[in-house]
Amino acid sequence: MFASATRITGLILIPALICEFFSQKSNSKSEPKSKNVKDAFFLCMIGFGFISYLVLNYAVFGDAFAFLEVQREHWFKHLAPPWEGLLGALWSILWREPAGKVLVGGAEVVFGLFGLACIIYAFITKLRPS
């Protein structure tokens, strides 16, 4: 809940935890129904965190999605496919001052490629989908 209330990327937890929920449910058929309801409730908590953030934005700014405009104006961030962000980070290495090259462009490229390598490793070694 706190991950999705503080960062929009916290919503990425939803598909991972849904996969985990169903994989654990299929492994243990004899669980009581109350445990499944409780687990499903905790899955919904992720959405509640994001919804609470939207309500807060609406109460303060009069627009639930005001944070998107703030990110666009101050940090030049907007919703885009992952490759667009990676290419933008590579491009920013060419024009930023030296500290920005490392802290902004370099860090985004390194951790973007690291994330991609982890995904490939997970598929090769057949780790659990979550």
Look at 90 and 28; give whichever has higher pLDDT: 90
Q: Are residues 91 and 123 in the same domain?
A: yes
Predicted confidence (pLDDT) per residue in 102-118, tens digit: 888 899 899 989 999 99
Is residue 93 within 8 A of residue 106, CB to CB? The reply is yes
Are 68 and 98 part of one and the same domain? no
| Single residue among 56, 77, 98 that ends a domain in this structure | 77
The number of domains in the chain is 2
Q: Are 15 and 61 in the same domain?
A: yes
In which domain, by residue range, is 96 found? 80-130
Are 22 and 35 within one domain? Answer: yes
- The mean pLDDT value for 64-82 works out to 88
Digit-coded pLDDT (tens) for 34-61:
677 887 888 888 889 999 999 999 999 9
Instruction: Output the pLDDT for position 124.
Output: 94
Per-residue pLDDT band at 29 (split at 50, 70, 90): low
Q: Are residues 61 and 98 both part of a single domain?
A: no
* Nearest residue to 82 via CA among 57, 106, 116: 116
pTM for this prediction: 0.67
The residue out of 62, 77, 92 marking a domain boundary is 77
Query: pLDDT band for position 24 (50/70/90)?
Result: confident
